[in-house]
Amino acid sequence: MSAASPVMHPESESLGRGERIAVNFYVVSGLVVFVLMMLLGLVMRMAQGTWLDVGPVLFYQIMTAHGAGMVGAASIAASAVMWFFLRKYVRLRLAPFVANLVLFVLGAVAILAATFIGQYAGAWTFLYPLPVHSMGLWSTDAAALFMLGYLLIGVGFLLFYLDAMLAVVRRYGNLGRALGLQWLFGGEVDRAHPPAVVAATMVIITNSLGILAGAVVLVMCLINAYFPSVALNALLAKNLIYFFGHVFINETIYMSVIAVYELLPRFTGRPWSVSRPFLWGWAASTVMVLIVYPHHLLMDYVMPHWMLVMGQVISYASGLPVFVVTAYGALTNIHRSGIRWDMPARLVILSMFGWAAGIVPAILDGMISVNKVMHNTQWVPGHFHFYLLLGVLPMILAFMYHLSGSRSGARESAGDRVAFFVYLAGGLGFVLAFLAAGHASVPRRFAVHLPEWMPYDRAGSVGAMLLIVTMLVFTARIVAGLLKAPGDGAAAHAVR
């Protein structure tokens, strides 16, 4: 690389003491929850494979905590990625960022208490009226505590997004200009317009709407829990829940991908410039992510027919615009660049593979002819674990390695390289066991499996063990870097 290449840790990324403490807590909280939720996932796979004796009641409590916790961990860690890089271009306040973390921790405690003390086991979807019709397995208070935990987490994220929205509007005039809409049909595109701002603006718009929908249905369900005479429209409640849930989980990858735009150029020495196709991709995804959720409701025949058609059609394309422009941009950025393959670079490229490969089984499941056979099989956890474990999480880990590297000055070690390839092998083994089981019509959400299904469970358990071991290695390396004095060794990371 040339001497003019950008430094690995520019001055614009320096953190004040309060900011550094807050980011450290985000990173450590995210890593701890990730590892704990992976352990819960391993317990479920081993229970299905009869390597552990876990009763069905406890199994569904674990499943509920795992689903809510893993999405929460991905979201809180991804929001740290977005905040860290967005603050280079707009003025973000520390207080909403800290409030988001505090409310997340309080919400996580409420969810864990509801599941493991209150024995709530109604899954992350809290579908009305299941939370208050438990057949005696949990109390109304436990269901309410679970939903209150969701509300606390949602309020925290909403505070974070509102602060980011205000900062973006102050800097660019309005959200449309920040998203680059003024260049969609003409004019000279400002290639210096930050991709991080485009991605963050899309997230602000869509996830704010999704969280508001979730807050509405949560409040409605809480009122119904204690005042049953206030009945809800079950179809409306289900629409709001899946709109909220689908948008929220999708935004984890759209927040995390900011790390790709910000970090890859440090290793290739080439800037990531925006283009008209790039802006079109993000504009299209802004609309698509809001209207694709009806593909979760294809079996709800009372849904308006046009919504089901819309959900079906958009399913084929919703994941493609941002992915295509990002993957193409990454490949052109790398081509003949002499890239230095340090750990963040490896993780960024792994995330492109995980994102691409994870989209394929998702699109297949979105087809009605496939969906009606495969949706209630392990094919579905196969596809979303694929892009979470091999797409979203590597982006987040790349950011964490980048952040900790600025403190420690440590270069990639042989242990890092080994852990990386073990993580890849474990991740592929884990998700392919799910997909193979789905292909064999092994049902999802069953606590007890037939003998002929258990080889898939046991193969998935081995993959999960490898993932957990490598996550512990990554966590130790990242936390050790964060504990270094600020700025120690940063000069050692200048891209040469």
The CATH code of the domain that includes 394 is 1.20.210.10
Give Cα separations from 303 to 129, 245, 353 (angstroms).
18, 18, 35
pLDDT of residue 411: 62
pLDDT of residue 7: 54
DSSP 443: B
190, part of any domain: yes
DSSP 90: S
- For the chain, which residues score pLDDT lower than 70? 1-9, 11, 406-412, 485-496
- Listed in sequence order, the residues at least 6 apart from 424 whose beta carbon sits closer than 8 Å to its beta carbon are 350, 390
Q: What is the rounded distance in angstroms from the CA atom of residue 181 to the CA atom of residue 178?
A: 8
**Amino acid at position 403, single letter:** L
Of 418, 458, 428, which Cα lies nearest the Cα of 442? Answer: 458
375, part of any domain: yes
**Distance from chain centroid for Cα 373:** 27
pLDDT of residue 351: 95
pLDDT per position as a tens digit, 211-229: 999 999 999 999 999 999 9
376 Rama class: left (phi>0) / alpha (psi -120 to 50) / beta: alpha
Helix ranges restricted to H, 316-449: 320-334, 343-366, 368-374, 379-387, 393-408, 414-439
pLDDT of residue 496: 34
4, part of any domain: no
18, part of any domain: yes
**Mean pLDDT over each residue of the chain, to the nearest integer:** 91
Beta bridge partners of 377: 443
Do residues 31 and 478 lie in contact, with contact meaning Cβ atoms separated by under 8 Å? yes
pLDDT per position as a tens digit, 352-371: 999 989 888 888 887 778 88
305, part of any domain: yes
pLDDT of residue 274: 92
292, part of any domain: yes
Total structural domains within the chain: 1
Do residues 433 and 474 lie in contact, with contact meaning Cβ atoms separated by under 8 Å? no
5 Rama class: left (phi>0) / alpha (psi -120 to 50) / beta: beta
Range of the structural domain that residue 440 is part of: 11-493
Do residues 108 and 69 lie in contact, with contact meaning Cβ atoms separated by under 8 Å? yes
pLDDT of residue 1: 38
22, part of any domain: yes
281, part of any domain: yes
